[in-house]
Amino acid sequence: MSLNVSPTRELPSELPPNAGRAAAGIAIVLVAQLMIVLDATVVNVALPHIDADLGFGPASLSWVLNAYTLAFGGLLLLGGRLGDVFGRLKVFEIGLAVFTVGSALGGLAQTPGQLVAARTFQGVGAALAAPSVLALLTTSAPDAAARNRALALFGAVSSGGASIGLILGGLLTDVGSWRWTLFINVPIGLAVILLAPRFVTETPRRTGRFDVVGALAATGGAVALVWTLINTPEHGWLTARTVAGFAVGLALLALLARTEQRHPHPLVQPKLVRDRSRVGALTVMALLMGANLSMFFLVVQYVQGVLGFGPLLAGIAFLPFSLTIFATSRITPALLGRFGPRRMMLVGGVALTVAYAWLSTIGTDDTYLAAVFGPMALAGVASALLFMPVTVITLSGVEPEHAGSASGLLQTTQQLGGAVGVAVIVSVYAAGAVPGEIVPGMSAAFLTSATLAALALAVTALLVRVGRPESATQAPSEELVEAVAAEAA
């Protein structure tokens, strides 16, 4: 999530007495944030090598990505609540320990099941550690200027981490093995765990109950739906197994809705999902992430399996997407103020639909510049046009005491939306796959991504009614930023 900080302020004449310790603490927490963000993409370029080594298959290979995102997204809100009650630093360290152990187990995995279990373990650790990052950054900062710098660095690390992960994953796979994309986390995680207590300040604890049922229902429902979608090509849409899987998933999501309405400390504040525009924005975010993650899963196999790129070059091949997001995001605040979030989302939805329809035309005789570069760059522009207005709509009008819940809801929607979207698209791809070939099934899969983008466009047109009022066109206020940081969503 991009957070705007205050404009330039007068620098203090002398540094606070604890400035050195604070700077070290901020650096340590940011390293952990980078590691968590990297892990969402670092294994992507290694997927063909993982498949060749462990023998996953076209559909089940997506579990290398989805096991992490499902556990991360499903338990993210619970991780934030645990930090409230037991202390952010303590839960942060426990999460990093779990994440580090999961990374080591993943690097040692000898079967698909072992690797998926390890990736799940990593996701659990990330869900415990990630919600504490913003709170620990702000408590480590000695003054407002340092807090603003820390938040700016957090935004840079979060936005650039995906691209760094792709390139680093390619480099590690090229010079060593796909296993090093996981082993690399072990020394970094151990260093952060050892240094954090010395330089990072613990946050105050809050009393309250845990919404364990809500967390388990959210995770279980998402897992049931994703598992069912991925296995549909093999078992069929109308088989008892498929119908039962969908029934279990929907029943768990219904339990989640009922629990959140009755629990005294719900993971999701019910009032947040009663606003039509906010619901529309969250739905758009889920569809956007689902469409975009399909590109990371499919294009990496295309450029390596068809175009003959090595892992490192495959990672570099994604730079048009990341760089256009970065470049466009520099002007999105001005566009938001001039045109409002709804118009930006409509333009972004059209551009994203065109980008994936364009990608659906790739074939075995195409080149990177002809078939991949253009649609990937267009998808980056479209994503940047969508990210900021969705974030602003989700957080605008939220009371400070609910800012953490709103931000956590946005992040959870990103993770679970990506997992479900990938499951749908990979299911379509697997249904048309031909053993030993890469391209068959990709056209239908990318058209499915285009359909998700078109659905995001339709949701924007039907549900989002935010024009250009003062509260919607401006980025979340500094008070809201501080509330989000304090709640550490």
Q: Which residues contact 311 (CB under 8 A, 6 or more apart)?
A: 45, 46, 49, 169, 170, 171, 173, 174, 304
User: Given this model, what pLDDT does residue 73 score?
Assistant: 78
Q: What is the pLDDT along the chain (489 residues), one digit of tens a residue?
A: 334 444 444 444 454 555 667 778 788 888 888 888 887 778 888 888 898 899 887 668 888 888 888 888 778 877 877 887 788 888 899 999 999 999 999 999 999 999 999 999 999 998 888 887 777 876 676 666 666 677 667 766 766 677 788 888 888 888 889 999 999 999 999 999 999 888 887 777 666 666 778 778 877 887 788 778 777 767 777 888 889 988 998 998 899 888 878 877 777 777 778 888 889 999 999 999 889 888 888 898 899 989 999 888 988 998 898 888 888 878 888 888 888 889 999 999 999 999 999 999 998 889 999 899 999 999 999 998 998 888 888 877 777 556 666 777 887 888 888 888 888 888 888 888 787 788 888 999 999 999 999 999 999 999 988 654 444 434 444 434 333 333 333
Give me 208's structure tokens.
């309250």
Tokens 């480099």, located at residue: 171
Three-class SS state of 255: helix
| pTM for this model (two decimals) | 0.77
Compute how many other C-beta atoms are within 10 angstroms of the C-beta atom of residue 218. 28
| CA 469 – CA 476 distance, rounded (Å) | 13
pLDDT tens digits, one per residue of 409-421: 887 888 888 888 8
Q: How far is 20 from 212, CA to CA, in rounded Å?
A: 39
d(CA 128, CA 88): 9
pLDDT the model gives residue 41: 78
Residue 388, token pair as written in the block: 């900021």
Position 438, amino acid: I
**Which tokens go with 412?**
């959870």
| Residue 404 contacts residue 484 (beta carbons within 8 Å) | yes
Query: Measured between alpha carbons, how far is 15 from 313 in angstroms, rounded to an integer?
Result: 44
Token pair of 339, please?
């045109």
CA dihedral 221→222→225→226, nearest 10 degrees, is: -150
Q: Catalogue the E-assigned strands of 313-406.
A: none
Cβ neighbours, 10 Å, residue 201: 15
Comparing CA positions, the residue from 375, 346, 342, 344 lying closest to residue 443 is 375
**Two tokens, residue 305:** 């399996």
Q: How far apart are CA 130 and CA 37, in angstroms?
A: 9
